[in-house]
Amino acid sequence: MTGRHRRPPPPAPPENATALLHAAATGLPVVEEGVVVFDGGTVPYAYRTVHRPDGRCERHLERLDPPPPPLLP
């Protein structure tokens, strides 16, 4: 007799698995940097992700605002 419940799918590896493995294998931090505009938005953000060899992950996100308009005399 077969059961009514299915086995859950196996967990997917994290999307940054390659960077995590590279950092652990080489013993050096792996840095990913770039610029992203989130869905439905128009403001760009600069991001920086540092994967440490011990498994820690540091993420930094900064909004890239346009420069202020020039002052009129």
Q: What is the pLDDT of residues 33-67, one digit of tens each?
A: 999 998 888 889 999 999 999 988 999 999 998 77
pLDDT at 6: 82
Sorted by sequence, the CB contacts under 8 Å of residue 47 that are 6+ apart come out as 32, 33, 34, 35, 36, 59, 60, 61, 62
Q: Above 80 in pLDDT, residue 69?
A: no
Q: Above 60 in pLDDT, residue 1?
A: no
